[in-house]
Each structure stands twice: as C-alpha cells, then as structure tokens.
C-alpha cells in the first residue's frame, strides 16, 4: 500500500526536513517592528488590553512566558502547555510562492529551485506556526494562484503544505501581479515573504514591493538561484530552451559566458540595491546552500533588528 502523496504526513516528509526542523526548533521568527500581536516578550502589541480568547495549547518551549503555563493542563498531562489565545499572535505572515516554469529548474546534483522554495516555505511556516504566528500562503505563476489566508492553527501547516504541493512549476513569472492581488486583500500589517527566483521585471516587482512596504508590511525576499544560473557552466554548442516559453537560442556558452555573468550580476545588484533602498529584506541563496543556513540568515537578521 502506497501512501497518498497528498497525505499530510507524506507532505511533511516531503517538504519538512527533520534535520532542519530540529536545528531550527529553538529559534523564533521575530517581527522586525511593532506588530499588532501582543504575545508576551515576543511581539510588542499596540493593542494592549484587547479581548483575548483561548485558542489552543502550545507545548512549552524555552522562551515562552512562564506565566502562561497552564498548570491545570500540567496536572492532567504532566506536560507544560502554554495557553494560546486567538489574538495573542498578531504577526501575520504571507508567503508568496513562485511556481513559475523557471522555478522548475535544477542543475546537476541540485534540487530544483521549486523544491528548494517549497522546503524553505514549509520550514518557515512550521517555525511561524510553532511560535504561534499566523502564516498564509499565495502561490503564483503568471497570475495569482491558490491563496491561503494566514492562520496560527497548528493544523494550518497541512493546508500550507497542500498549497506548496500545488505549485505548478510551469508558466511565466509575474510576481508583481501576485503582490498586487495580495495587496488588495491585506488589511492589517504583517509580513510578506516572497520566495522566488526573481526572473521577472525587477523594476516592476520592486515598485510594488516598495508600495507594500509603505503600507507597513514587512517584506522579505528569498531569492532562490541555481548555481548554473550564476556561472553558465556549460560547454559546447547548445540550444537553450526557455522554461517559460521563451524562444530557443543556439549558442556556444563559452562565447557569451562573460557577458551573461555581467548581465546576471547587474540583475542581482539591481534587486539587492532596490531592496536595500526600499527597506526590504533580501536573502539570496543558491540551491546548493543548506536550507537551515538560509533560514538562519533570515532569523539572525531579525534578531539583530530587535
């Protein structure tokens, strides 16, 4: 009997690397600035004294406020549980996931960018949910796809994994359209985590990203790159086929390698510069890089902010 690939556990196995989860277990994703949430010590909330409604228990983890330990539950189960309330987590993160054709590329010995992005997103969602923050997801290619509103329910991870699983790895990339669609829905401040190979009109993407930032959304971009995209390591006459319906190109990579690298470097520099100028967090990672390091960059970056 084979397991259903859409089954929750199999999805977890697929997208969540236990090693990564283990290593990230003690870490918390913090908001860089004041968010609406008021979980003690975690996110300072501007809405003090607002109604709180019990939502669920969360097993105690170092860093949790001791005062929130439910001693009754401890008496019943002999385990420490921390009560979580509906409005306790105000950090609402949206993961904007690129599922275009260009993501479905892997050079030899590497995972596809899509696989890397999926695992990254899953790990991120897992971390967020574990610390009680709400995570939503938006898949997109040339147009916005599945959208999952943020939720901090522990079962929400399965939904997110389903969204990840549904990423097509096909079609053109249109990050701006996805962000635009998202912008229409966002009413509260939160965090946008864009996971993409950014093979799009960088200027257009950055414009809308800056708009989002101005609407007091924290924006972080995970730029996933395959090593081959950096170095164009191919030899011999090659017919290059685009993954998003571009025209073919017959060329000896050796002839254009330098020029290509210049173009690529300019592209990366442009994104990086615009992110810096637009107060947008930017994390570039190649698919050969261990995932936890990529996540660590993100988390460490946020720790420094505090």
Contact set with another protein (CB under 8 A): 101-103, 105, 113, 197, 199, 225-226, 228-232, 234-244, 246-247, 249-252, 254-265, 267, 284-286, 289
Query: What is the smallest separation between the CB atom of 239 and another protein, expressed in angstroms?
Result: 5
Q: How far apart are CA 210 and CA 207, in angstroms?
A: 5
Q: How far is the CB of 151 from another protein (least distance, A)?
A: 32
Q: Pick the closer one to another protein by CB: 101 or 150.
A: 101
Pairing label, strands 54-59, 81-85: antiparallel
Minimum distance from CB of 78 to another protein (Å)?
Answer: 48
Contact 110, 227 (CB under 8 A): yes
User: Cα(68)–Cα(83) distance, rounded to whole angstroms?
Assistant: 6
User: Among candidates 20, 98, 33, which has minimal Cα distance to 281?
Assistant: 33
The owner of tokens 């899509």 is 114
Pick 94 or 282: Cβ nearer another protein: 282
Within 8 A by CB and 6+ apart from 108, the residues are: none
Q: Which helix (H) or strand (E) holds 120?
A: helix 113-130
| Of residues 59 and 246, the one with the C-beta less far from another protein | 246
Angle between helices 156-165 and 113-130 (to 10 degrees): 170
- Closer residue to another protein, CB minimum distance, 57 or 234: 234
Minimum CB separation of residue 291 from another protein in Å reads 15
Of 33 and 273, nearer to another protein (C-beta) is 273
Min dist. Cβ of residue 219 to another protein (A): 21
């Amino acid at each position: 009997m084979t397991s259903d690939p859409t089954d929750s556990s199999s999805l977890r196995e697929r997208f969540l690397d236990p090693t990564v989860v283990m290593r990230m277990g003690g870490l918390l994703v913090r908001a860089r600035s004041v968010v609406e949430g008021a979980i003690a010590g975690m996110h300072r909330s501007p809405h003090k004294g607002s109604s709180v409604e019990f939502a669920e228990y969360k097993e105690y983890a170092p860093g949790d406020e001791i005062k929130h330990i439910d001693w009754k539950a401890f008496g019943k189960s002999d385990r420490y549980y921390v009560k979580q309330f509906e409005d306790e987590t105000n950090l609402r993160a949206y993961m904007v996931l690129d599922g275009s054709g260009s993501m479905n590329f892997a050079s030899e010995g590497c995972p596809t960018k899509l696989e890397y992005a999926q695992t990254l997103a899953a790990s991120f969602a897992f971390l967020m949910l574990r610390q009680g923050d709400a995570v939503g997801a938006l898949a997109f290619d040339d147009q916005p796809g599945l959208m999952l509103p943020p939720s901090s329910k522990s079962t929400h991870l399965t939904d997110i994994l389903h969204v990840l699983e549904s990423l097509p790895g096909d079609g053109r990339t249109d990050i701006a359209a996805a962000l635009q669609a998202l912008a229409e829905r966002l009413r509260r401040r939160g965090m946008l985590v864009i996971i993409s190979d950014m093979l799009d009109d960088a200027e257009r993407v950055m414009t809308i990203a800056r708009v989002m930032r101005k609407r007091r959304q924290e924006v972080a971009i995970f730029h996933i790159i395959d090593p081959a995209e950096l170095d164009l390591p191919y030899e011999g006459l090659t017919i290059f086929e685009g993954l998003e319906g571009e025209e073919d190109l017959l060329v000896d990579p050796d002839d254009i390698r330098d020029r290509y690298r210049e173009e690529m470097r300019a592209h990366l520099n442009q994104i990086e510069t615009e992110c810096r100028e637009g107060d947008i967090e930017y994390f570039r990672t190649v698919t050969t890089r261990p995932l936890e390091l990529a996540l660590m960059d993100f988390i460490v970056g946020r720790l420094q902010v505090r």
